[in-house]
């Protein structure tokens, strides 16, 4: 039976095993699972001897998880919404493993990126979202999400999962990615993260237009000043935002913020 929170429960053993292999969980590791659902990944994590904290928002799933796993000494269950949870309640440093609900996958990813309590995460999301994260400058999927992840983690693909791997089957496919968190955000000390994203969002604000024109409009600056900033960074003022690299946006932030 489908739960309330847009969850599609993983039923494919091959995909579940691939996720656990990518996480490299060992006895004694600290693991956080967001949205354990029916417990397919939970069972595998506990079998590897990890200390697991599972965070589940759906009250209908709590009794089943308690029946199946609370006798395990290495299992802790939090009935909470990860997006609202006080993350100080979670153990750290931890490995994060999750089959994320499509409707809140991106917000949860963004919250994880802002929390320094994890070192490695293996996440399954809608394939379209993972494609955006893994995209390169010049591709249509490239955008602010790509850059927000690139600032804080190294990302690599793990595997894909079609609708048949879930119950109930979703209408879209999923992908799994592994993230290794950087010890330090990839911004120079004098460049503020808020300023960086203000420039990024301004450049992508009118995606079909030239990045300099869009940035000038959104930031409320003179177009000539925006063009001058691009030229000072060695960039063509006629370039579109999706062609600019992370380093290009850092250089532009120095000039425009």
CATH code at 237?
A: 1.10.8.100
180: Cβ–Cβ under 8 A, 6 or more apart, which residues?
A: 119, 120, 153, 154
Give pLDDT, residue 6: 67
Same domain, residue pair 236 and 138 = no
CB 51 within 8 A of CB 27: no
Give pLDDT, residue 27: 97
* Number of compact structural domains in the chain: 2
Same domain, residue pair 17 and 133 = yes
- Which one of 154, 181, 208 terminates a domain? 181
Same domain, residue pair 34 and 154 = yes
Same domain, residue pair 128 and 235 = no
Give pLDDT, residue 2: 40
C-alpha pair distances (Å), 188 with each of 35, 144, 254: 35, 19, 10
| pTM, 2 dp | 0.93
Query: Strands 75-79 and 9-10, how do they pair?
Result: unpaired
Give pLDDT, residue 1: 34
Same domain, residue pair 17 and 141 = yes
Domain that residue 172 falls in:
9-181
Give pLDDT, residue 243: 97
What is the mean pLDDT, run by run of 10 residues, along the chain of 257 residues?
Answer: 66 97 97 96 98 97 95 95 97 97 94 97 98 96 97 98 96 97 96 97 89 94 96 96 97 93
| CB half-sphere exposure, 79, CA atoms < 13 A | 9
- Which one of 181, 211, 241 terminates a domain? 181
């Amino acid at each position: 039976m489908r739960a309330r929170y847009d969850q599609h429960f993983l039923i494919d053993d091959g995909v579940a095993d691939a996720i656990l292999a990518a996480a490299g969980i060992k006895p004694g590791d600290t693991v956080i699972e967001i949205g354990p659902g029916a417990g397919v990944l939970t069972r595998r994590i506990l079998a590897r001897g990890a200390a697991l904290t599972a965070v589940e928002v759906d009250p209908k799933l709590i009794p089943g998880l308690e029946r199946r796993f609370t006798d395990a000494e290495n299992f802790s269950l939090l009935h909470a919404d990860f997006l609202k949870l006080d993350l100080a309640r979670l153990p750290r440093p931890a490995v994060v493993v999750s089959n994320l609900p499509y409707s809140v996958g991106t917000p949860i990813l963004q919250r994880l990126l802002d929390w320094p309590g994890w070192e490695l995460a293996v996440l399954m999301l809608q394939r379209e979202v993972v494609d955006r994260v893994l995209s390169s400058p010049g591709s249509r999927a490239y955008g602010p999400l790509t850059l927000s992840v690139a600032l804080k983690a190294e990302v690599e693909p793990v595997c894909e999962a079609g609708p048949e791997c879930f119950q109930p089957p979703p209408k879209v496919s999923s992908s799994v990615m592994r993230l290794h968190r950087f010890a330090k955000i990839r911004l120079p000390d004098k460049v503020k993260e808020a300023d960086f994203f203000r420039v990024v969002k301004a450049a992508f604000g009118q995606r079909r237009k030239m990045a300099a024109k869009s940035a000038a409009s959104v930031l409320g600056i003179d177009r000539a000043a925006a063009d001058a900033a691009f030229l000072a960074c060695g960039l063509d003022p006629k370039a579109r935002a999706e062609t600019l690299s992370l380093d290009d946006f850092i250089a532009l932030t120095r000039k425009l913020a």
